[in-house]
Chain A
Amino acid sequence: GAVVSQHPSRVICKSGTSVKIECRSLDFQATTMFWYRQFPKQSLMLMATSNEGSKATYEQGVEKDKFLINHASLTLSTLTVTSAHPEDSSFYICSAPRPGQGSDTQYFGPGTRLTVL
């Protein structure tokens, strides 16, 4: 079964509103979670690294004030797309590595399809 969940799976919102996406590790604690974005026919692009108890680390070109990340507990990270615009429409995926086991056991959530009208 799934070990990382995301909610919601699909969201449609009006331009200018904020959208929160949740990522949960279901049977392990994740001190680190990753957020990716995938545009159609493009690769998964790492947006930021979410660190439990500290600030997220953002990749170059990703606006931290627009994509707010909160890793409030060892099983939950949230990504909030603030003042969303149509160009933010994308597929957002989170992942979490099982501690101590490296990249092989990095589990991905099912993704969230965001459509901004």
Chain B
Amino acid sequence: DQQVKQNSPSLSVQEGRISILNCDYTNSMFDYFLWYKKYPAEGPTFLISISSIKDKNEDGRFTVFLNKSAKHLSLHIVPSQPGDSAVYFCAASFLYNTDKLIFGTGTRLQVFP
């Protein structure tokens, strides 16, 4: 059972525009959500996170929104840059074990000039 889902396997956005990556989860007990960026043949790198007590967290060009009632989070990247082209994973964890991450299936973002 996939507890964290990313229903869009790929997304293509023009440079300078906004990229919106979506993630849904089924377990209401998740307390912490993270986004990771992954380049081919490399491990994921942490991008941004949000606690379940918040609904928004912003870091530069990256903003994560959390809608707990809908069990949905999204990552906004604005403005998008070609270097943002990668696979983005959302992940969730529990407060009692924040190191154990449950990952979504990933969305491949391509930013074209």
Measured CB to CB, the residues of A under 8 A from B are: 4, 6, 9, 32, 34, 36, 41-46, 49, 93, 95, 97, 102-111, 113
Contact = CB atoms under 8 A, between A and B. Distances in A.
Contact of A46 (B45, B89, B102): B102
Tell which of B4, B42, B102 has the most Cβ of chain A within 10 Å. Answer: B42
B28 interface: no
B82 to A, nearest CB: 22
Given A103-B34, A113-B41, A46 B105 contact: no
A104 to B, nearest CB: 6
Interface residues of B, number: 25
A34 B99 CA distance: 9
Contacts of B11: none
B45 A108 contact: yes
B105 A97 contact: no
Contacts of A108: 36, 43-45
B101 A106 contact: yes
Contacts, number: 65
Contacts of B104: 43
B103 A43 contact: yes
Contact of B41 (A36, A49, A97, A110): A110
Interface string B74-113: 0000000000000001010100001111111110000000
Nearest to A44: B103
A109 B102 CA distance: 17
B65 interface: no
A104 B103 contact: no
